[in-house]
A and B are shown apart, each in its own frame.
Chain A
Amino acid sequence: MSKLMTLSEAIQRYVHDGDLVYAAGFTHLIPFAAGHEIIRQGKKNLILARATPDLIYDQMVAAGCARKVIFSYMGNPGVGSLRIVRAEIEAGNLEWEEYSHFSMISRLQAGASGLPFMPMNPTAAGDLERVNPNYRQVIDPYSGNAVVVVPPLKPDVAIVHVQRCDAQGNAHIWGIIGEQKEAAFAAERVIITAEEIVDESVIRSDPNRTLIPAFIVDAVCPVPYCAHPSYTQGYYDRDNEFYLQWDEISKSRQKVQEYLEEWVFGVPDRVAYWEKLGEEVHQRLKVGERLSAPVNYGLY
């Protein structure tokens, strides 16, 4: 069954006010186009979970979509502070729930595996466990030693950007695979955005690369350049210049509003956004070819 639809339709159908949203991707494949569509549709009171909120959540928080963030590293990667989320937390306007990377990912792993909790070895740091009651300690029934446990994270909706998938939602991902698979399996609903929609035979030609199977997917949206200013391995580079620019823009609420007006509300979709970026940016983000050696799955 084809699940092809526009991103706008997918956000309308599968993202509701108040939802816990996990827009996946560790630096790589961050679905910015979906974040922008959520802003355009004026979704409210969302709980935004990501290991690294990145600019996508900075922009969604700035646009008033969120009431809470769940994270493990709140910075502008490679640049410094994530100004909007930080300012809203410091001003007491935004709830937050905080983990280390491993405990955040362990929560997703528990959610994705249908487990009641996930154990981790103690780190003895103590303070994060003290301020976040979701951290608990239990006794390992085998050794008698203490282990730290965290509960499952079960997003209402996960949004996962991929290099290519078929119309049903069988998705190939390569490069940094972060927490894409775990987010998809943990979530109630899954929206896939893809650089390319390919025939099922392409997926079947390389089944080891399929991280997400169609039967957990609700919507498949063809969205080339979805990840800009993040990147898609082998398709386009990370726009490090924009990450630096955002550091300037996000110093002023007025400039942030102007940015949202021009680049989110001012364009109907990602096609128009990419066009508007212009030739110079397209050229700058172009990547050359570095193919892997073919593998032989064998004829049986």
Chain B
Amino acid sequence: MTEYTSPELLTINAARLLRDGDVVFVGVGLPNLACNLARRTHAPNLVMIYEAGVIGAQPARLPLSIGDPTLVSGALSVCGMYDIFALYLQRGNIDVGFLGGAQIDRFGNINATVIGDYSHPKVRLPGSGGSMEIAAWANRCYIITPHQKRRFPEKVDFRTSAGFLNHRQEREAAKLRGAGPQAVVTDIGILEPNEEGELILTALHPGRSVEEAQANTGWDLKISPSLRFTEPPSEKELKILREELDPNRIYLKGGE
């Protein structure tokens, strides 16, 4: 079997969730790599939108920040920040948003703000950025994260962005235009929301186990009755990632 790193596994599985024609609100790092991989495989018409105000970016080199100049040169359009959030996101023109955070809870709510008390923070994190709005208004959201118990508490310390709140019905009552988190891709497998909006284990990566997933989750992780194994990363996917997208292994190194 081909060897691969954990970031490669995450990126490839995230790329497979994207559909041809998707308009994706994308960040740097693994989401950027996942979008570029999807564009070079099954989703050539995917459109990448960056919160810096860049639409239809075709980065010629690996962007190292959300406002990298390579995103602008050759893009379809560039607009101001108010417009990207209002006309594109709030108006409902974004299919997919990628989210990350220090904590993700049982109902897919995310904390990117603070560990401990807000006024007297134990650990001060960067904060929302665009994630509060992306989580609410993108049609579908995906989360890429290492699978660790401290990242998956029963309840987040601070709700920076909304998943299903305390139940899918609660999100529906809030009348947010987006459908909420659709999948959490981890290095052990994939979690997806059930009818109640609770994240349950729906897939395992090759060689990983249910016990491992449960031991690294902070709530009593339920297992889908139709649990499947993901396809291992293909030679083609790995080759594109390694030779074209991140040849210097800036994001794909692994061994964390």
Which positions in A face B, CB cutoff 8 Å?
Answer: 26-28, 51-52, 71-75, 77-78, 81-82, 86, 89-90, 92, 98-103, 105-106, 108-109, 120-128, 131, 145, 174-182, 231, 233, 237-238, 240, 243, 287, 290
State the CA gap A289–B162 with chains docked (Å). Answer: 44
Q: What are 10 A-B pairs at a CB distance below 8 A?
A: A26-B52, A27-B52, A100-B129, A122-B176, A123-B133, A125-B159, A126-B159, A174-B78, A175-B72, A176-B72
Q: Could you tell me the dominant secondary structure of chain A's interface residues?
A: loop
Q: Which residues of B contact A81 (CB under 8 A)?
A: 126
Decide if A175 touches B69 in the complex (CB within 8 Å): yes
A122 pairs with B121, CB closer than 8 A = no
In the complex where A176-B53, A176-B54, A238-B65 touch, is A109 in contact with B161 (Cβ < 8 A)? no
Residue of B nearest to A106 (CB): B82
What's the Cα separation between A103 and B85 when bound, in Å?
Answer: 10
Cβ proximity bits B70-113 to A, threshold 8 Å, 1 near / 0 not: 01111000111110011001100000000000000000010001
- Chain B interfacial positions (CB closer than 8 Å to A): 28, 51-54, 64-69, 71-74, 78-82, 85-86, 89-90, 109, 113, 118-124, 126-133, 135-137, 158-162, 165, 171, 174-177
CB distance A27 to B53 under 8 Å?
no
Q: Given known contacts A27-B66, A72-B128, A108-B82, what 20 new A-B pairs fall within 8 Å (CB)?
A: A26-B53, A27-B52, A71-B127, A73-B130, A74-B126, A77-B66, A89-B121, A89-B124, A90-B122, A90-B123, A98-B113, A101-B129, A105-B82, A106-B82, A122-B174, A122-B175, A123-B136, A127-B113, A131-B119, A240-B65
B119 CB to closest chain A CB (Å) equals 8
Contacting residues, chain A, for B85 (C-beta < 8 A): 101-102, 105
Q: Which residues on the B side are within 8 Å of A237 (C-beta)? A: 69
The answer for the CA separation of A279 and B212 in the assembled complex, in Å, is 53
Q: Is the CB of B129 within 8 A of A73?
A: yes
Q: Tell whether, in the assembled complex, residue B65 and residue A125 are in contact, meaning their CB atoms are under 8 Å apart.
A: no
Question: A179 to B81, Cβ gap below 8 A?
Answer: yes
A98 to B85: give the CA distance in the assembly, Å.
17
Q: Closest A residue to B118 by CB, please name it.
A: A131
Write out the residue numbers on chain A whose beta carbons fall within 8 Å of the beta carbon of B124.
74, 86, 89-90
Least CB distance, A273 to chain B, in whole angstroms: 21
Given contacts A125-B132, A179-B80, A101 and B51 within 8 Å (CB-CB) = yes
* Residue of chain A at shortest CB distance from B67: A27
Residue contact B176 to A73, C-beta cutoff 8 Å: no
- On whether the beta carbons of B65 and A72 are closer than 8 Å, the reply is no
- Asked if residues A101 and B81 are in contact (CB atoms below 8 Å), the reply is yes
* Structural contact, B72 and A102, CB atoms closer than 8 A: no
Residues from chain A with Cβ under 8 Å of B161 in the complex: 123, 125
Those 6 A-B pairs whose CB atoms lie nearest each other, nearest first: A27-B67, A78-B65, A73-B129, A75-B126, A100-B132, A123-B136
Complex CA–CA separation, A287 to B73 (angstroms): 12
Query: CA A182 – CA B160 in complex, angstroms?
Result: 25
Q: For B126, B130, B162, B165, which residue has the most chain A Cβ atoms within 10 angstroms?
A: B126
- A124 touching B176, Cβ below 8 Å: yes
For B82, B89, B118, B130, which residue has the most chain A Cβ atoms within 10 angstroms?
B82
Whether the Cβ atoms of B69 and A182 lie closer than 8 Å is no
Asked whether, in the complex, the Cβ of B65 is within 8 Å of the Cβ of A123, the reply is: no
Q: A78's contact among B28, B73, B175, by CB below 8 Å, is which?
A: B28
Whether B81 pairs with A178 at a CB distance below 8 angstroms is yes
Nearest Cβ in chain A — how far from B6, in angstroms? 18
Within 8 Å CB of B132, what residues of A?
A: 100, 102-103, 123, 125, 128
Say whether, besides A74-B124, A89-B124, A179-B82, A101 and B130 are in contact (CB < 8 Å).
yes
Out of A26, A99, A120, which one reaches B90, CB within 8 Å?
A120
A99 CA / B85 CA spacing, docked (Å): 14
Shortest Cβ distance from A160 into chain B, in angstroms?
Answer: 13
Can you name the residue of chain B whose Cβ is closest to the Cβ of A174? Answer: B78
Contact at A176–B131, with CB atoms within 8 Å? no
A residues in contact with B123, CB < 8 Å: 90
Residue of A28, A92, A181 with most partner-chain B CB within 10 A: A28
Closest A residue, CB atoms, query B89: A102
Residues of chain A with a CB closer than 8 A to B135's CB: 123, 125
For B53, the chain A residues whose CB sits under 8 A away are 26, 176-178
List of A residues within 8 angstroms of B175 by Cβ: 122, 145
- Could you tell me if A77 and B159 are in contact, using CB atoms closer than 8 angstroms? no
- In the complex, chain B residues whose CB is within 8 Å of the CB of A73: 126-130
Q: Is the CB of A176 within 8 A of B78?
A: yes
In the assembly, what is the distance between CA of A89 and CA of B113, in Å?
13
Contact B52 A28 (CB under 8 A): yes
Q: How far is it, in angstroms, between the C-alpha of A119 and the C-alpha of B176 when the chains are bound?
A: 15
Which residue of chain A has the shortest Cβ distance to B170 in the bound complex? A124
CB-based contact A124/B128 at 8 Å: no
Q: Are A123 and B68 in contact (CB under 8 A)?
A: no
B128 adjacent to A177 (CB under 8 Å): no
B106 to chain A, nearest CB (A): 16
Tell me whether A178 and B52 are in contact (CB under 8 A).
yes
A127-B52 CB under 8 A given contacts A78-B66, A81-B126, A177-B78:
no
How far is it, in angstroms, between the C-alpha of A226 and the C-alpha of B136 when the chains are bound? Answer: 37
